[in-house]
Amino acid sequence: DFQMLVRNIIQAAYGIPGVFMYFIVIFAMRSQKRILSKSFISIFAITAIINTATWINSWLVIRLKTEAFMIPFYQLFEDQYFLGCLFIFLVQHFYYAQNVCVLLLALDRFAVIYAINRKTKFWSESYLLVSMLSHFLCLVLNVGTRLFVGILAFREGMTIEALVRKALFDPSYAQLAFGVVVFFICSVFNEISFFLISLCIFLAQILNLIVYGIITVDLALHDYTQNLPKYDFSGEVMLFSSDLFSIGPAFYTLLLPGPVRRLISHSIKTRLERYVERSQSSVVAIA
């Protein structure tokens, strides 16, 4: 309908530039290796990839459902059951992965400061391994939760949807609990080692967690079919808070005071000055 079309246009208007901004930011970071640690740049790059994949997946699974040109794609979901399950699985998995990225960014700042004070290279030599293990554990947690729900549904003799509606167990509970744990750990790291970019990403995580928590708890206590407009509105809010978490870091890093903004500002200023000089030289030559 028209409302969803307007929503999609607005979200694409800031989302597409946000994805391109990640490329600009990462390029700028790579030229600032003397200021930003290699571990932070690498973890931020991984975060950018996961956030972009999360944003694209949300369009495929949720936002484009009302668009006529996507009907063949969603028909494929119905014809290929595994493919539909895979995209839904990724929606949940990316939630875990994004929270791990926030945790790693906060941990990196703390670890770098600790390494400088203790004169150790442990974090610089092991951050990639820690990152891979963290994301692997997320995968295990997500798969394990879904298997548990499937086994419980089989024992109860009902579908997974019926199991969730009966409030026996919902994978969202595990996601919410995981987000809360990450929130408290990040709170400690950000208190110890303040870093503006990590802090803003952390604040976006808090907002997303609050919205997700309210929706999850409300769904557990009430039958959503009794108040569809409220849950439609909640879903819309969730999409924007998710974008703040997924696309926001590109804007935070580019706009907040720091080496990345200084580099890009200097680059733009230099190019403008050269353009003005060439323009003036052309005018003088014509005169």
Position 79 confidence tier, pLDDT thresholds 50, 70, 90: confident
Q: Which domain holds residue 53?
A: 2-256
Position 46 confidence tier, pLDDT thresholds 50, 70, 90: very high
DSSP codes, 214-247: HHHHHHHHS-GGG-HHHHHHHHHHHHHHHHHHHT
Tokens found for residue 236: 């819309």
pLDDT value at position 132?
92
Q: Which amino acid is at 119?
A: K
Residue burial 21-36, b: 16+ Cβ < 10 Å; e: rest: bbeebbebbeeeeeeb
In a domain, 238, yes or no: yes
In a domain, 110, yes or no: yes
Please determine, for residue 167, whether its predicted confidence score (pLDDT) is greater than 50: no
Residue 39: left if φ>0, alpha if ψ -120 to 50, beta else—which one?
Answer: alpha
Task: State mean pLDDT over 165-184.
Answer: 68
Task: State mean pLDDT over 141-161.
Answer: 68
Least confident of 112-116, 142-146, 183-187, 201-205: 201-205
Q: Which residues contact 110 (CB under 8 A, 6 or more apart)?
A: 189, 192, 193
In a domain, 162, yes or no: yes
Position 212 confidence tier, pLDDT thresholds 50, 70, 90: low
In a domain, 285, yes or no: no
pLDDT value at position 231?
60
Rounded to an integer, what is the distance from CA 133 to the centroid of its chain? 19
For the chain, the domain total comes to 1
Chain mean pLDDT for the chain: 75
We report the CATH number of the domain holding residue 132 as 1.20.1070
Phi, psi of 86, rounded to the nearest 5 degrees: -65, -45
pLDDT value at position 188?
74
In a domain, 167, yes or no: yes
Q: Which has the higher per-residue pLDDT, 165 or 105?
A: 105
In a domain, 269, yes or no: no
Kindly tell me the sign of the dihedral angle through the C-alpha atoms of 30, 36, 37, 40.
Answer: negative
Distance set, CA 40 to CA 36, 75, 103, 104 (Å)? 7, 42, 12, 9
In a domain, 286, yes or no: no
pTM comes to 0.77
In a domain, 267, yes or no: no
Return contacts of 75-78, CB within 8 angstroms, 24+ apart: none
